[in-house]
Amino acid sequence: MAEKTFHLQIISPTRVFFNEAVDMVEMKTTEGEIGVLAGHIPLTTILEPGVLRIKTDGNVREAALHDGFVQIQKDKVTVLAESCEWPDEIDANRARKAKERAERRLTSGSKEVDMVRAELALKKALIRIDLAGKH
């Protein structure tokens, strides 16, 4: 019988965020959403900011995942993340202020504004706000 769980390790520059056996993990890549089960084909891809969903024993945990890489092997998935946060670690007020700053930069019309960076900041703030509001 095939193994139904695999080892998921999520590492950020500041900590080992997660390190357990899971049933499934879902995340956003540059190519779109991906769901991984045990026995998945080997794959290495780039991650985009989004909600990471970890499924174990019928329970789902969500976290804000901000950029990184994922390496998928048959029995192990390793995520190297710029940052990853559980909903209770998110400061919703700080996220709302970051959203407002990013929106001001995007609508300023200034040529000095790095639009790609401002769009990324807005995306991250919206993910944090959404996730903090759900939990």
State the pTM of this model: 0.86
Q: pLDDT tens, 67-77?
A: 899 999 989 99
Distances (CA, A) of 42 to 68, 72, 74: 17, 5, 6
| Full set of structural domains in the chain with CATH | 6-85 (2.60.15.10), 91-134 (1.20.5.440)
- Output DSSP code: residue 97: H
pLDDT in the model for residue 35: 96
Residue closest to 60 by CA, chosen among 26, 17, 83, 28? 26
Alpha carbons within 13 angstroms on the beta-carbon side of residue 109 total 0
Residue 6 exposure: Cα atoms within 13 Å on the Cβ side: 21
Other beta carbons less than 10 A from residue 65's beta carbon: 27
Collapse the DSSP code of 126 into the 3-class scheme (helix H, G, I; strand E, B; otherwise coil) and give the result.
helix
- Digit-coded pLDDT (tens) for 22-49: 999 999 999 999 999 999 999 999 999 9
pLDDT of residue 1: 38
Positions in the chain short of pLDDT 70: 1-3, 135
